[in-house]
Chain A
Amino acid sequence: MKAKVVVRLKKEILDPQGQAVSNALHHLGMGKVAGVRIGKIIEMDIDTTDVHQAETIVQDACKKLLSNPVIEEFSYELSEEKK
């Protein structure tokens, strides 16, 4: 299975990086951009075809390493590996 994990700063956490990018987009004339938040995408190959097993592994990885629950939240999608 393939997993695509998205880790974001929690909504209440200030994202100065996103703000700087938003300012830069405004300088480029994209004044309609009302907000930018920056996160991370982590792609993993998981050596199983069992969705439940893959899910358990991904959740475990997100909680123990990929995200820090004090400041971040995560979401993920699982998909079949394309041959």
Chain B
Amino acid sequence: MKFAVIIFPGSNCDHDMYHALHKVLGEEVKFVWHGETSLDGYEVIVLPGGFSYGDYLRAGSIARFSPVMNEVIRHAEAGKPVLGICNGFQILTECGLLPGALLRNKNLRFVCKDVYISTENVNTIFTNQLNKGQILKIPIAHGEGNYFIDRADLQELEENGQIVFRYATAGGDLADSANPNGSVSNIAGIVNRQGNVLGMMPHPERAVELLLGSEDGRFIFNSLRN
């Protein structure tokens, strides 16, 4: 598969993503500068984590106007896979490819640690190698990951099975105590209505080697490759 990892000014997980996809998983990967205006030939577009444009105004709010974003939106609208991790998730909500918004963490802290997430929907291109309720250990590292959506839209997410990952305990309990940032309904990752755009706060690219504590992120990339 041919992956494009988009680099915005301030992206800082781009090389982690490249390492995971190319060095660990052996996929073809190219970095694409945010000023590019073509994404022809790529199958999967990845918006990596970081602090695009220094998180000025709101996280992700300025990156969405980068020239390449028109192509990302076109790619998504054509039904092809787009994966946004952390700041990438924030950009996807700002540009309207995903509903809701990401607010400051409830405890105001930047939280960097391993968390457990429960797989809520296995019928997506990102989760078809997982079992329903399967728990993944994947790190988070963010200050603005508190997912917010209003009640009516939350219900729509639930009904359409768009909630893909929820923060949980290691045993799979969707407890408040397992929610690291105050997200509505423990939401850690969602897909769009069509299911081809995934945004998630945890970093699967940092969980592909046992040496670094977990290989659980591989399930997501392996699902895409399947």
Contact = CB atoms under 8 A, between A and B. Distances in A.
A16 B101 contact: no
Interface in A36-83: 65-66, 68, 70-71
Contacts of A13: 103, 148
B78 interface: no
A30 interface: no
B181 to A, nearest CB: 10
Contact of A66 (B57, B105, B149): B57
Nearest to B62: A65
A76 to B, nearest CB: 16
Interface of B: 57-58, 61-62, 65, 93-94, 99-101, 103-108, 148-150, 182
A54 to B, nearest CB: 21
A70 B100 contact: yes
A66 B94 CA distance: 11
Contacts of B62: 65
A13 B100 CA distance: 12
Nearest to A20: B108
Interface residues of A, number: 10
Interface string A5-24: 00000000110110010000
A22 B103 CA distance: 19
B106 A71 contact: no
24 contacts: A13-B148, A14-B103, A16-B104, A16-B105, A16-B107, A16-B108, A16-B182, A17-B104, A17-B108, A65-B57, A65-B61, A65-B62, A65-B65, A66-B57, A68-B61, A68-B101, A70-B93, A70-B99, A70-B148, A70-B149, A70-B150, A71-B101, A71-B103, A71-B148
A64 B62 CA distance: 11
Contacts of B105: 16
